[in-house]
Each structure stands twice: as C-alpha cells, then as structure tokens.
Structure 1
Amino acid sequence: MILCTGESLIDMVPDGSGHFRPLSGGAVYNTTVALGRLGQTTGYFWPISRDLFGEQLLRPLAEAGVETGLCPRTDRLTTLAFVTLTGGEARYSFYDEGSAGRMLALEDVPPLPDSVSALFAGGISLVPDPCGAAVEALIAREHDRLPVMLDPNIRPFFIQDADAYRARLNRLIPMADIVKLSGDDLEWLYPDDKPEDAARRVLDLGPTIVLQTGGASGARALWSGETVSAPAIRVEVADTIGAGDTFNAGVLASLNEQKVLSKAGLAGITPGQLRDALTLGARAAAITVSRHGANPPWAHELG
C-alpha cells in the first residue's frame, strides 16, 4: 500500500458568476485520490474534520478505494483555500489557522501497518507546526525501510519563516528517494541557478531521483545516469488545479506496476522504467488539466 500523508482541504473555486464552488482538494489529497483512481492500493493519513467539509473530503477517497482507517477524526474545522484563476493558472488564499490538519501533532502519528510499502508526502503540510514536525517525524522514522517520495509544492505566500522551512527541506530531502520539483519550486530554492543546475543541487543532497517538471515543457528525471525526459501532452487547458499532484500519482503508479517502487528497485532502475513513469505521469496530468478543478483520471481513461 502506498501511504500518502499531507493536507486535505476545500478549494473554493470561482464559477464565473461571482460565486465559489467548494471542491475537495489539497496537494497530497489530490495525489491520494488519483492513485486510488489509477487502481493502486492506497492509504491516507491526515486528520479529517467532523464538519460538513470533512464528510465531503471522505467521499472521493471512498469512491477511489482509498483506505482511511489511519485518519484521526477531529472537531477542528477543515482548511479552506480560495482560488483565483489568472490565465488558467491557480493562485490560493488559505484559511488554515487552528484547522484539523494543521494541528496534527507528534502523538497523533501512529505505527504503520505492515501493508505500507511506500510513503508519499509534501505540500503545505510541511510548512507550519505542529503538522510539519509530525510529517517530518514520520519520514525520519520510516525512511530507512520504506521508499519515500517528496513533493514540497512550495507556496511562498504560505511560508512565514523561510529560513525555518529551508532548514526543514534540507533535512527531508536527504531522507527521500524521489523528490519532485516544479520550475517555481526550484526558483524559490535556488533563485540564482538555472532550473537544471538547481535540480542537480537537490540531487546532490542525497535522493536517488529528482523529477523536474515544467508544465508545457514536459518532465525530466535526474539520477545517476543520463537525464531522462518525457514531453507534455498537448490538450486544451481548462485550469491547472491538481496537475502536478496527478503527475505524482502517475509516476508512483507506474513505478509500482513495474515493481520498482522499493529501495532496491529504485537503486537499480533503468532509463526505460523512468521514462515510462514520466510518461504515465504526463498522460494523467493532461487529463486533469483538460477539465475544471482537481479531477484526476480513472485507470480506464488512460487505456
């Protein structure tokens, strides 16, 4: 089972008439739903509110077959993210203080069942405490035995203490086997470097694979061999909400199906296996951007 840990929230998305529609979202949540829809055995660990939005968040997880038994329930409120769209690009304003997810504490981190075979983490859940410290502690406890994929999905406006967050990432990245970074992420981390140079600096910190994504420019995998790339799939873009999250799910699904989503498997991965993973990630993301909101594809939609 691939266990995902990180934020779930409600995206308040403009409907074009001055109103907002509440859609289930959150970077890690989107990846979790996408993995389930792609037919992967998937679990989720994150606090879920007992409010009406918490119930809304549970429904897509259940429909995708995601195991939610590790999710603590709480009376704290669900995080809200109000979305504005500019040229199809999403920007967010978060209402998160004291929310269900943000208040995840170290004592809430459970022992993991033996069925967990890989960890995925990231998003804004890495930024504030106590939840950021809880996720970091989980990864620190489990990374020696489980492969870890990390996607920081950096939102600069959400980061109040940039130095503290950089320090956390500098601790987390060496514990990860796969790190995915967008062009914006790399620019925030290393503003004076070209994207590929920045990605190589991340690789030098210790992960086995660094995935560098660039929207229409496709995706690249930097590792011990020659750089592997896959083009983006051209589609008519409705919006980009959930695109990178779906890409992550496609990559993990491909690696899992190729039976290389393990410490040993990733250490011995081939260029062809990497290319297949990038390609499935790009194909899945293309379907998501072709429709409104974070609505990742089901396995049958990918043929």
Structure 2
Amino acid sequence: MHNRTMLDWDDLKYFVAVARHGSTLAAGRALQVDQSTVQRRLAALERHIGRPLTLRHPSGYRLTAFGQEMLPAAQEVERAALAFEQALADSKRNAAGVIRMTCPEPLVNRLTRSGLLDRFHARHPAFRVEFVMSDKYLDLRHGDADVALRSGDTVDGALVGRKLGDSLWAVYASRTYVARHGQPARIEELADHPLVGFDDTMANHRAASWLREVAPQAHIVARNDSVLGLLLSVKAGVGIAPLPTALGDAEPDLVRVLGPVPELARIWRLLALPEVRRTPRVSALFDFMVEEIDALRPIITG
C-alpha cells in the first residue's frame, strides 16, 4: 500500500518556483497552473514537513530561515528531475531518429527549397529533421533543440561545432523606396532615412546594436521581433534596414544600398552538446552538412 507519510517530491517544484519568482501568482504562471494550486501544494509540503518554508508578505512570499536552508537541496531535486526528463526525451528521439534543429525562420524556407534535406533523408531514411524556428539563441542544455544552425558570437563553451560558412549583412531598401526617397551613399547618411529595426526582445542582436551606434538619432518607423519581419517591412517600402545578404540579394524588389557591413559579419556554425553530437542521428547530420558544404554556403551566405 502507498505510504501516506512519504514526501510527495512533486510538491518541491512548487516550493522552488515560489522561491524563484517571489509569489504564488508568478510561480503559477511559470508552472502553467493556477495560483490556488501553488498555494495548496506549498501548504501540503509545509504540513508534511511540520515547519514553515515561506512567510507571506504584502509584496509576496519570502523564505524562512528554514526555507533558505532547504532550498539548495530542493533545487538539486529539481535539476535531477529535469535531467531525467531530458534523458527520457533524448531516448525517445534517439529511438525515433528525430533531430530537432533550431535556426532562423527564413533559413528554413531556403533549406527546404534547396533539396538539401531531401538528400539527407534519402541517405538516412531512419532519421528525420524537425525545425525549431527562432531568431533567438535557444538553450541546447535545456533541451530546447538538439542542434543549432547559428550565426553570431558563440560564447557557450559547452557546445561543440563546425563552421559552415559566413553570415554577411548589408543595408537594403525597396526599389520603390529608392525611386521616391533616394538612398544613402554612406553609413553616416542612415540617420537621414526612416529605418526599420528590432523591438526590445531583439535589442541585443548585433544589427540592433550597430544601428544604435552608427545612427543613434535615426527615426525608427517600424520594429520587428524577427529578421523575417525586417525583410517584409523593407519590401513594403516602410524604410531601410540591414538584412542578411542571403535574403536581401534573393529579393528582386530590393536594392543593396550599403555594404556588406564588416561589423555585422559573423560565422555560421552547426552546434550541439558533446554528448548529443556523438549520437548516431546527430553525427549523421553533422557529417552530411560537412559533405554538402559547397551546396550549403550559397543558402546561408547568398
């Protein structure tokens, strides 16, 4: 029979979430449950232990001295549970041959149309690539994806990878815009034109940082949360913006008005965690991409 005196380990995640977020409401949002569930599970944990872990204040919840003492051990249980869930998910993906690759959305269309993935699937019918599209860097250590096709500064020493090509950026405008408003002849003239930029969610992107540096007083007429949004805004003639040359040069309605811009150049890499890199499915993808590097470079560089 079930021992009713045993600790329900699942209750610990509610304690950790309240400690992390400072309130039961925020903890509930993070755990995707309602606030009352967090309060009930936290109260059940404290009843089982027989001592309070938290104190309620007008501004939220604070840990008691005992709660502070127990928090590291609870966090260790959380890490172990997440590691188990990740190992279980990895095992299922390995058995199914699924490779989740994260990369920017515009690149998915170019890769798909190139026939590159068709050749990979034909060579390795037991493996299947699934895209996780994002312009932001997803955390491979948290299992957001298995492989990242990523350009930019890679400071995560936990990842291993291979250079596949160069990421070049230039400044573009639509032909309609140029006909009506002209185009900048120098970078210093960018401030004289309406610009399309990123919103706050992409404020750390190198293109956003570069525009702030070279045209701090410029008028930003539209903000987007993706490179695809930039592209569509420029095509619509809203303003001008830096874009990857692989995208901008492929659009007949766009004109490259400046660049490539050396400050925006980066390297395209295929990245994975070492233990994931060694799995048969991911190893097959790495080897294939290296073999097809001549076909891949025009896709990612233009």
The higher-RCO structure (CA 8 Å, 6+ apart) is 2
TM-score, with structure 1 as normaliser: 0.24
Superposition TM-score, scaled by structure 2 size: 0.24
Larger Rg computed on CA atoms:
2
